[in-house]
Amino acid sequence: MKYIASFMIAMSIGINAGAVVDKNFDYHVDRFADIEVLRYEVPEFDRLTPQQRIMIYYLSQAAQAGRDIIWDQNGKYNLQIRKLLEEIYKNNSGDKNSKDYKAFEKYLKQVWFGNGIHHHYSTDKFTPEFSEAFFIAEVNKLPESSLPLQKGETREELISVLTPVIFDPTVMPKRVFQDGSKDVITNSASNLYGEGVTQAEVEAYYNSIKNPNDTTPISYGLNSRVVKENGKIKEEHYHVNGLYGPAIAQIIYWLDKAKNVAENEAQAAYITKLIDYYITGDLKLFDEYSILWVEDTDSDVDFVNGFIESYGDPLGMTGSWESYVNFKNQASTKRTETIASNAQWFEDNSPVDKRFKKGEVKGVSAKVINAAMLAGDAFPSTAIGINLPNANWIRAAHGSKSVTLENITEAYDMASHGNGFNEEFVIDAPTSKLMEDYLYITDMLHTDLHECLGHASGQLLPGVDPDALKENGSALEEARADLFALYYLPDQKLIELGILDNPDAYKAEYYKYMLNGLMTQLNRIEPGKDIEEAHMRNRQLIAAWILEHGKKDKVVELVKKKGKTYIKINDYKKMRGLIGELLAEIQRIKSEGDYEAGVALINKYAVKVDPKLHQEVLERFATLDIPPYRGFINPVLVPVTDDKGEIVDVTLTYGETYPEQMLRLSNDFRTLGY
């Protein structure tokens, strides 16, 4: 599971103790459409040994090597389109200030950011603002040799296939279609299922191979595309001799090098297991790898590399390829270690029914990390927290690893200063002040609690299918983790543990949560549309539920001042009580697999948007020019070689522009054809 920034993650000026921040570091890289591209700093890189830095380099190569996979998973024309757009971009010798060219450049930047032709977040197809005539003329100017032609395809055929894919709004309109009243598979434009495969067929197929009595089930469908061949449903697996083989071969090549400079035997052992899994596609090996990985809490350098999160699949089965390479942020890891070592206390004292609690919370490990490379589905848009592995039985038996990406969070925070958000949306000066002083730390803490306690808490009743909540599983799971975090933020325990120093600090996060859930996150939604993304649904679900259930006691109100709507929290203590109630109910839904109750909650609170309030939020944001979405380019890792050409160390630079980085990646890590 991942935790993504609630987009105004921090408006604070407070930087937590221990973080090394270069005041002159330039975080801003590019700005287009609804996106801002930032860069992040990698503090403490200098404290690593040369061997650790070399390992990070090899793991980073393994990370970049998988880039083409996510592009292809996101849509079957994406790699072709990327190549074509990049060739036009490099070849164009016309007027760079023409309206068409400017619009083309914007579109290419959007496509780079989405790893394909759909928005990374809304999953709606981008709308090009340049003309078809411009596009066709540009394609016709390219030499035959630089066209991304499929075998036997002509230039004319290429144009006739790709033009509607790019321009026709009715063709492949949505990457992840989630409206459960229709077929979510045939209506999704992603490439995770073959042509003509229906939702009913996929569900029947998995039901036929799942064994309900298996207590250690593989993660069905995690590394495969379900296709129909001669009317028969089957899986095509991702492995070195299967789908995405050439990319996987490159990943294996670099993982093998990383293995040879691993920090310790345990780490080398799980890298070996991961390689074996990539060779065979055997999900049992992936589980074995996950167990070895989760049990290694000593290594400084760490990474994720594989088909991991399933948000891109409307049925939540197939994993999107991603990679993170990172190492411990020593200064802040202390905080999460304190939380993790008290996991049992938090579990025992939660407001959840005893039957749904874990009797023994196992091996929740938590650390704060610095990202050194983001790739695949984690790039350019990335998470600020990750909790893995995702397999429920492994989490129950072996625990999970929870990480907070401190340098990413920091970059968000630093890049947000002085953007006018607080002045526009926060109700009064004292609340603003509280947020300035405590939002950074409570936001970090919220992420820690969400990842390392929230997702790890609770248990299913015996025999309950972990996928019982179906299309609402992701949103309800995120709600459960958020509620767990929110419930504990005001707890005296955090002060006893020395993590917070002010009993009112939590109010900063409570205020932000309600503001974001009821109002400001709507800036990410186009007028007239519903909320679809799981984390956004979760936030509105919680905020709207609290608003309604606190109505009688006026716990939280929407008030008007000079025609503008504000959130007013009258009773923070009662708000905590409501959070506890909802946590207990959502845990019950999950533990019992109560699909119907899940549907009812989601439909009532999480999906629909008040059009008037939505309009108001959009208008108020428009005056601020704050980008709704942000993401990152990576630093460039440069190997230092001796006179025999052996890598002896690695340095790190930050200077690339967004297009430079994207073109370099396309050139250096082109593994799947074009």
Binding mask 499-538 for Zn ion (x = CB under 5 A): ----------------------------------------
Within 8 A by CB and 6+ apart from 156, the residues are none
Please identify, using beta-carbon distances, which residue of 485 and 522 lies nearer to Zn ion: 485
Give me 232's structure tokens: 């028969």
Please identify, using beta-carbon distances, which residue of 479 and 508 lies nearer to Zn ion: 479
CB of 481 to Zn ion, least distance (A): 5
Whether 541 and 479 have beta carbons less than 8 Å apart is answered as yes
Please identify, using beta-carbon distances, which residue of 239 and 539 lies nearer to Zn ion: 539
Please state, in angstroms and as integers, the Cα–Cα distance from residue 528 to each residue in 196, 537, 542, 566, 614, following that order.
30, 16, 22, 22, 9
Please identify, using beta-carbon distances, which residue of 124 and 478 lies nearer to Zn ion: 478
CB of 407 to Zn ion, least distance (A): 20
Which among 211, 183, 67, 187 has a CA at the least distance from the CA of 125?
A: 187
Whether 298 and 327 have beta carbons less than 8 Å apart is answered as no
Q: Which stretch binds Zn ion (CB under 5 A): 56-64, 214-222, 480-488, 597-605?
A: 480-488
Task: Give the CA angle between residues 162, 167, 172 to the nearest 5°.
Answer: 75
Near Zn ion by CB under 5 A: residue from 62, 202, 435, 481: 481
Whether 323 and 305 have beta carbons less than 8 Å apart is answered as yes
Please identify, using beta-carbon distances, which residue of 52 and 521 lies nearer to Zn ion: 521
32 bridge partner residues: 35
CB of 150 to Zn ion, least distance (A): 39
Q: Which stretch binds Zn ion (CB under 5 A): 140-148, 473-481, 540-548, 638-646?
A: 473-481
If one counts every other C-beta atom within 10 angstroms of the C-beta of residue 644, the result is: 6
Contact between 303 and Zn ion by CB under 5 A: the answer reads: no
366 bridge partner residues: 402
Q: Which stretch binds Zn ion (CB under 5 A): 124-132, 404-412, 476-484, 587-595?
A: 476-484
Q: Which stretch binds Zn ion (CB under 5 A): 121-129, 376-384, 470-478, 538-546?
A: 470-478
Please identify, using beta-carbon distances, which residue of 277 and 487 lies nearer to Zn ion: 487
Q: Which of residues 2-41 bind Zn ion (CB under 5 A)?
A: 3
Contact between 1 and Zn ion by CB under 5 A: the answer reads: yes
Contact between 484 and Zn ion by CB under 5 A: the answer reads: no
Binding mask 616-645 for Zn ion (x = CB under 5 A): ------------------------------
Please identify, using beta-carbon distances, which residue of 343 and 414 lies nearer to Zn ion: 343
DSSP-based three-state secondary structure for 369:
strand
**Helix, strand, coil share (%) of the chain residues, nearest 5:** 50, 15, 35
Please state, in angstroms and as integers, the Cα–Cα distance from residue 593 to each residue in 71, 316, 459, 462, following that order.
34, 16, 11, 11
CB of 1 to Zn ion, least distance (A): 4
Q: Which stretch binds Zn ion (CB under 5 A): 74-82, 214-222, 417-425, 478-486?
A: 478-486
CB of 275 to Zn ion, least distance (A): 28
Residue with tokens 């050139």, as numbered in its chain: 667
- Spatial separation of the C-alpha atoms in residues 126 and 82, rounded to whole Å: 14
- Residue nearest to Zn ion according to CB distances in the complex: 1
Please identify, using beta-carbon distances, which residue of 1 and 261 lies nearer to Zn ion: 1
Q: Which amino acid is at 476?
A: L
The separation between CA 659 and the C-alpha centre of its own chain, rounded to angstroms, equals 22
Please identify, using beta-carbon distances, which residue of 481 and 567 lies nearer to Zn ion: 481
Which among 199, 197, 282 has a CA at the least distance from the CA of 232?
A: 197
- Spatial separation of the C-alpha atoms in residues 453 and 404, rounded to whole Å: 13
- Contact residues for Zn ion (CB under 5 A)? 1, 3, 478, 481
